[in-house]
Amino acid sequence: MALFLVLSILIITTHFCEGYKALVVTQMPSKSHSILNDAIVKQLLKEGNEVTYVRSIEYKNPPSTLRQIDVSSNAEAIPANALNIRSIMDRSVRVNDHYTVKHRMTGVSIKTMENKDVQKLLSDPKEHFDVVIVEFLDNDLLASFAAVFDCPMIWLSPIEVNSDILSRIDEIPNPAYVPDIMSLNIAPFTFPQRVQELWSRLKSQYLYYRYIDDIQSEAYNRLVAPHIIARGRKPPTIQEIRYNVSLVLGYSHVSMGEAARLPQSYKPVGGYHIDEDIKPLPENLMEIMDDAKDGVIYFSMGSNLKSKEWPEETKQSILQMLGGLKQTVFWKFEKMLPNVPKNVHISNWFPQLSILSHPNCALFITHGGLLSTAEALYFGVPIIGIPAFGDQFVNIKRAASKGFGVEVDMSFNVVEDLRTAIEEITSNPSYRQKAKEFSFIYHDRPVKPIVELSHWVRHVVQTRGAPHLRSPAIHVPFYQRFYLDLALSILVLLVISIKLLKLVIKLVWSKKKPVTKKKKN
């Protein structure tokens, strides 16, 4: 009885100590980005923590304990037709231009900070948090939340391992074998590709220091620093804030990315958003899938690219091409189309996970977003990727090099290329085989990614920022890291030695000279 009492007191008190206060921030007003933070919020709440959620998309069915701050007005920082299939097809926009992307992302971050409810949160001296988890958008502005609340800071990196995030906690990965996140190359590189990667890395760093740093510093001084002063502290510089990150939760995994070298404070938890509890298919879809003896092709370009933006003639040709297949097709399309062939089913929403989990799902045609790639791998379904922007190119190229995917170019030839790719994947069993192999690698981890994520967040809270995980590299300036000081010293020594040697030779020579002259005379 006594033991029982002690035990229950122990359980109650440890449980009581367990809850912490977290601030979670999604900035991008996009469904796929919020899915990532929604999953974290859900997990933290489940563990009994107190969560404040700054979010750009509605969080469905929130528990009464969740406090939300709506920053959906962020969308104003992104031009309305920033993503348009036609302009991608006719190459009239440069989707992966470093400057445009960084500039736009920083604009979203500034919008987040300008939000009046966010400002209210920052200015309230009674507010405090044990940890801040923020979606990383290529700038450091929102890391300053941690400086205001004097608490540890965690970045959530929504893409595979990349130089922008690693440069904040360690070193930039070697461009000779790690592609840029917006690259169109995949290692091993040819000589021109290697040069291209180095150039893009240098350009990215240059743009950051030349433009982004000024913009974010101005915003920091205007929107954040006054709150730190009001709390009686001297505001750190944004550079100090930049390198004061406790942890990066990376949406990455070797099954999708590469076996990159990672610092201790980077935790690859790719796939954590997938809820193990897969909902059964609605009855009508279940029936169609069960009956599809040639398999089902699931076609969805994600939530950012709207299918209605496909050029009219391309839409019709896609529909015709799909109608000629023996497989059943589910096409996620926001608008009903006329003359839909009977093997094609169009809807503006499909239960993606439940479809992918069905054994008759033969193929997933996707834009190649990382979440979709992870979901395909989770169930071992091969993919065709039609990448449109950002990291989608690299994701698909990796899937292709691993053997479970085929890339189709978003061009005016897309229908023909798509038909060829579908034939290739559905007739050659090696794609499915590879998808199953990489699915095994995806699942074969010591713990589930969401459990790992939750462990590390707690670890950061309990150790007040996990300073022991930080790479010593962040305190070593560039010239020391590359021993440029040593190189310079050797150079200087060399130059001095040569000068001295010349002097000595000259002296010896001039002493000898008169002698020889005499002889001649």
Q: Which residues bind ligand NAG (CB under 6 A)?
A: 146-147, 150-152, 236, 240-241, 244, 246, 464-465
> Minimal CB distance to ligand NAG: which residue?
465
Rounded to a whole number of angstroms, the minimum distance from the CB of residue 143 to ligand NAG is 8
Count of residues in the chain: 521
Rounded to a whole number of angstroms, the minimum distance from the CB of residue 244 to ligand NAG is 4
Partnered with residue 266 across adjacent β-strands are 248
**Residues whose CB falls within 8 Å of the CB of residue 298, separated by 6 or more in sequence, listed in order:** 329, 330, 350, 352, 355, 356, 361, 363, 364, 365, 381
CA–CA separation, 143 vs 165, rounded Å? 12
Helix (H), strand (E) at residue 118: helix 116-123
Picking from 327, 358, 355, the residue whose alpha carbon sits closest to that of residue 341 is 327
Angle, CA 234 vertex, CA 113 and CA 237 arms, to 5°:
60
Rounded to a whole number of angstroms, the minimum distance from the CB of residue 276 to ligand NAG is 32
Q: Which is nearer to ligand NAG, 124 or 150 (CB)?
A: 150
- Please state whether 187 falls in left (phi above 0), alpha (psi between -120 and 50) or beta: beta
CA–CA separation, 137 vs 134, rounded Å? 9
Q: Which is nearer to ligand NAG, 94 or 464 (CB)?
A: 464
Rounded to a whole number of angstroms, the minimum distance from the CB of residue 361 to ligand NAG is 45
Rounded to a whole number of angstroms, the minimum distance from the CB of residue 465 to ligand NAG is 2
Q: Which is nearer to ligand NAG, 244 or 265 (CB)?
A: 244
Q: Which is nearer to ligand NAG, 59 or 243 (CB)?
A: 243
Rounded to a whole number of angstroms, the minimum distance from the CB of residue 467 to ligand NAG is 7
Q: Which is nearer to ligand NAG, 154 or 256 (CB)?
A: 154
Q: Which is nearer to ligand NAG, 239 or 348 (CB)?
A: 239
Distance of CA 425 to the CA centre of its chain: 28
Rounded to a whole number of angstroms, the minimum distance from the CB of residue 128 to ligand NAG is 11
CA–CA separation, 279 vs 374, rounded Å? 18
User: Quick one: three-class SS letters along 154-181?
Assistant: EEEECCCCCHHHHHHHCCCCCCCCCCCC
CA–CA separation, 329 vs 189, rounded Å? 37
Q: Which is nearer to ligand NAG, 154 or 296 (CB)?
A: 154
Angle, CA 20 vertex, CA 7 and CA 235 arms, to 5°:
150
Q: Which is nearer to ligand NAG, 136 or 438 (CB)?
A: 136
Rounded to a whole number of angstroms, the minimum distance from the CB of residue 254 to ligand NAG is 29
Are the C-beta atoms of 245 and 143 separated by less than 8 Å?
A: yes
